[in-house]
Copies of this chain bind each other. A is one copy, B any other.
């Protein structure tokens, strides 16, 4: 039944031989192709963010500087082989952002210091127990410290900010206790190592801060505001895109339709950045103890909004045909609502970016709410809808419903940014007035009947800010 004619063995051999030849002939060509692809990837990487090139330059510089300890006789005599630890420290702690570098550097220095002294004490303690007891006791200490500290690293707070420090603690304790058994000059070596680690750490941190620094805080600030802007772009574009596409006009995909997708998965990036930012000193418009946690709150609200936007985006893709009357009716209200919310979000993003309070976002919020009311009342007019069955108008109804939902999302983002503005002391629009006076005038014009209570309000704001800065 199932007869297949086998090709002769010989021709198969010839076939595989010619394939091998082809492979070898095409090898240089393909390698060239791969090298070109690789070069293009590298070029793109540098073009996307030129600070990466600067970072590479900074690391190279830091390592060269720290190598000087070895190269030059007088410096070498001071530190000996321990100078190695300076090189090691620079390589290990130098990160792209200042926050990450400071976090790692401080963790390393403090942990080395504490663990070093504990290690020396453990060594002395073990020394008392004599020649046989010493290795057993040291082994026990090492086991206990390593076990306990490893377990502690699972604590969420430790994991977020001190994970590296705990690892270095285990490392230093083990090394000091171990080398203590061999070396009588424990204290001297411990001091040398500590000082070279501090020198290496300081060189890395100084170069990281002084040459074109990348601040985690500023990055987080920009990330959150650009996320809000992306959602704004989507909503502003949605009204124009959604309904014409139903008439079959433009089917090309606009960039705003994909931008927002990066917002959906930005949670862990934001958390990492906020943890790093907490290490950073005052820089630019950000104080030390800037309310970074509030950024996480705003980020979570933005994602909530993005989930709804993702549902909306599906309706841009679907090819459902709606009755033209419905479309005509719903078009104006939906477009207006969507574009007002888009404008509001973009204004909020701008307010964050410039760290300057505006009233424009509030105006757009009020207009959005009015548009939502309009849409709702349009949906109430029974005469419009009763001709159709619900299934035909379902896509339109869902879009309207989701858009109405998004109003509350946008409002909570707006509130979150307002809280941030008072915590972080954003400037008021009229920048000719001093910041304190501004706050007072603004407050009084907004909420209080007379100027007598201004002072109280001011205090309340400051307290909020303090609480928020955890």
Contact B70 A179 (CB under 8 A): yes
**Minimal beta-carbon separation of A131 from chain B (angstroms):** 12
Within 8 A of B (CB), among A366-389: 376-377, 379-382, 385-386, 388-389
In chain A, positions 273-330 with a C-beta closer than 8 Å to chain B are 303-304, 307-308, 310-311, 314
How far apart sit A55 and B381, CA to CA, in the bound complex (Å)? 65
- As for how many copies of this chain the complex holds, the number is 2
Are A52 and B135 in touch, CB under 8 angstroms?
no
Among A12-20, A86-94, A340-348, which stretch is in contact with chain B? A86-94
- Quick check: A142 and B63 within 8 Å, CB to CB? yes
Interface positions, chain A 109-140, Cβ under 8 Å from B, are 135, 138-139
A264 to B402, CA, bound (A): 19
A349 at the interface (CB under 8 A from B): no
Pick from B179, B307, B390: contact of A385, CB below 8 A.
B390
Residues of B within 8 A of A57 (CB): 147
Residue of B nearest to A96 (CB): B154
| Residues in chain B near residue A94, CB distance under 8 A | 150
A171 on the B face (CB < 8 A): yes
CB nearest to A72 among chain B residues: B135
Give, as a whole number of angstroms, the nearest-CB distance from A354 to chain B.
29
Is A87's CB under 8 angstroms from B397's CB? no
Rounded to whole angstroms, the CA-CA distance of A401 and B311 in the bound complex is 11
B307 contacts A67, C-beta separation under 8 Å: no
A residues contacting B by CB (< 8 A) are 1-2, 41-42, 45-46, 52-53, 55-57, 59-61, 63-64, 67-68, 70-72, 76, 81, 83-84, 87-88, 91-92, 94, 135, 138-139, 142-144, 146-148, 150-151, 154-155, 167, 170-171, 174-175, 177-179, 181-182, 264-265, 267-269, 303-304, 307-308, 310-311, 314, 376-377, 379-382, 385-386, 388-391, 393-395, 397-398, 400-402, 405, 452
